[in-house]
């Protein structure tokens, strides 16, 4: 079997996920959540946890399904197609990866859907973990965290946080960073919900002498990037998969519109110019799907060497999503930008998803450097 083709088990997982999401998390459910001011449906997430999705990367001894990174990507793809809003990437992917190396007792809570994590790393308009300035001042075996984190996905609903702080060194240095796992109810921590265009949960977090202990440290003091890097890779791969699914979702909606909308007594899908644009988009989606599948396979086989494959997938998925939503809105015409129609939701989510965990430029630079460009 070609390594980029889904196995029989993966095909069954995809089919089951698609059926569940089509029934329980269609785009109408996303609209309902948005209108209700609700970041996600807790009941839906609880059901996903019962199906093993929250434990997709959690070891079986901790109550997880341990299905692997390709499986996590398949679930992310299917969620992207319907814009399903969940804490899947933050908790089931990023946090589970960061904590499984330390054998944390909270892995079982992640698998059960009870522990909802957010990753608090960025402090500027672009993804740049080494530019962390949030201070963790050490006193004996204790720390006090002071500073601000922005663009924290799932930041207002999470009950636990993975926080990257500077314990030594200067802004921009790789060393001197420490990763903490703390409760979101710690004294001195305040959260403000950000006004995200995609109606997802993003927040700004302010730390005012928030206490942490040595037990809260993930990995080693001053070497937090070593603990964080594997989690970032898995999160970037899953986000690339979500963007790939998003591209397929808006493409399917657009194709359906081309087959129904008529001008000059003909369906607009019969116009050759639109056929060419649709065919080009299809080709781009297929190539990107291969890059996404490859990233998942490399993460499963050799995660330490997977960064280039992951960055290639995230860069391609970002560009393809941008193309898909632009073509989708343009082919729909004016209705594509109205709130009453679903196409605009895909454009807004694509805009945010391409920025989170590194934009096209960030990941293209990683690929270029690996190729000696």
Final residue of a structural domain among 161, 192, 222: 222
293 vs 2, more confident: 293
Confidence of residue 2 (pLDDT cuts 50, 70, 90): low
When mean pLDDT is compared across 88-102, 120-134, 253-267, the lowest value belongs to 253-267
> Is residue 237 located within the same domain as residue 363?
yes
Cβ count within 10 A of residue 101: 13
The pLDDT > 70 percentage for the chain reads: 99
Strand partners, 345: none
> What would the mean pLDDT of 183-189 be, rounded to a whole number?
97
Whole-number Cα distances in Å, 87 to 8, 15, 42, 182, 288: 27, 21, 10, 17, 24
pTM of the model: 0.95
Domain CATH for 151:
2.40.110.10
Is 331 contained in some domain?
A: yes
> What's residue 245's pLDDT?
98
Cβ count within 10 A of residue 347: 21
Final residue of a structural domain among 190, 222, 254: 222
Q: Which two tokens mark 136?
A: 């963790």
Confidence of residue 338 (pLDDT cuts 50, 70, 90): confident
> Is residue 360 located within the same domain as residue 257?
yes
Q: What three-state secondary structure class fits 56?
A: coil
Interval 10-68: pLDDT, tens: 999 999 999 999 999 999 999 999 999 899 999 999 999 999 999 999 999 999 999 99
Domain, as residue range, for 22:
8-115
> Is residue 271 located within the same domain as residue 341?
yes
Is 1 contained in some domain?
A: no
> Is residue 274 located within the same domain as residue 336?
yes
> Is residue 108 located within the same domain as residue 134?
no
* Number of structural domains in the chain: 3
> What's residue 367's pLDDT?
96
> Is residue 246 located within the same domain as residue 366?
yes
Domain CATH for 320:
1.20.140.10
Whole-number Cα distances in Å, 356 to 109, 112, 299: 25, 26, 20
Final residue of a structural domain among 204, 222, 240: 222
Is 14 contained in some domain?
A: yes
Q: 340: burial class by Cβ within 10 Å (0-12, 13-18, 19+)?
A: exposed
| Beta strands, E only, 158-201 | 160-166, 177-183, 189-193
> What would the mean pLDDT of 153-157 be, rounded to a whole number?
96
Apex 90 CA angle, 85 and 94, nearest 5: 145
> Is residue 141 located within the same domain as residue 181?
yes
> What's residue 167's pLDDT?
96
> What's residue 286's pLDDT?
96
> Is residue 263 located within the same domain as residue 362?
yes
Mean pLDDT over each residue of the chain, to the nearest integer? 93
Q: How far apart are CA 177 and CA 205, in angstroms?
A: 18
Contact 239, 314 (CB under 8 A): yes
Q: What three-state secondary structure class fits 161?
A: strand
> What's residue 373's pLDDT?
74
């Amino acid at each position: 079997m070609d390594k980029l083709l889904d196995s029989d088990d993966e095909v069954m997982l995809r089919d089951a996920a698609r059926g569940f999401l089509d029934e329980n998390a269609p785009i109408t459910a996303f609209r309902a959540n948005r209108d209700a001011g609700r970041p996600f449906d807790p009941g839906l997430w609880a059901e996903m946890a019962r199906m093993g999705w929250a434990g997709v990367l959690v070891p079986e001894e901790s109550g997880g399904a341990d299905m692997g990174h390709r499986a996590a990507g398949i679930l992310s793809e299917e969620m992207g197609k319907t814009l399903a809003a969940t804490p899947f990437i933050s908790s089931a992917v990023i946090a589970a990866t960061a904590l499984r190396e330390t054998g944390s007792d909270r892995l079982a809570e992640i698998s059960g859907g009870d522990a909802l994590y957010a990753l608090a790393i960025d402090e500027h308009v672009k993804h740049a973990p080494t530019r962390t300035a949030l201070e963790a001042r050490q006193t004996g075996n204790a720390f006090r965290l002071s500073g601000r984190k922005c663009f924290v996905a799932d930041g207002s609903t999470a009950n636990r946080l993975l926080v990257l702080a500077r314990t030594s060194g200067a802004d921009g240095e790789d060393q001197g960073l420490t990763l903490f796992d703390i409760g979101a109810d710690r004294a001195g921590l305040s959260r403000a919900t950000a006004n995200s265009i995609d109606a997802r949960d993003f927040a700004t977090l302010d730390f005012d002498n928030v206490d942490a202990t040595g037990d809260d440290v993930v990995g080693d003091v001053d070497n937090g990037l070593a603990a964080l890097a594997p989690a970032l890779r898995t999160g970037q791969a899953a986000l690339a998969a979500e963007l790939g699914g998003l591209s397929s979702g808006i493409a399917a909606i657009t194709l359906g519109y081309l087959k129904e909308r008529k001008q000059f007594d003909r369906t607009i899908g019969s116009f050759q110019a639109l056929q060419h644009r649709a065919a080009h988009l299809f080709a781009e989606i297929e190539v990107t799907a291969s890059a996404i599948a490859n990233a998942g396979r490399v993460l499963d086989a050799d995660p330490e060497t997977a960064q280039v494959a992951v960055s290639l997938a995230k860069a391609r998925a970002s560009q393809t999503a941008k193309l898909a939503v632009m073509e989708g809105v343009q082919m729909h015409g004016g209705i594509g930008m109205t709130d009453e129609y679903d196409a605009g939701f895909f454009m807004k989510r694509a805009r945010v998803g391409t920025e989170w965990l590194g934009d096209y430029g960030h990941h293209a630079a990683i690929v270029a450097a690996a190729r000696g460009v």
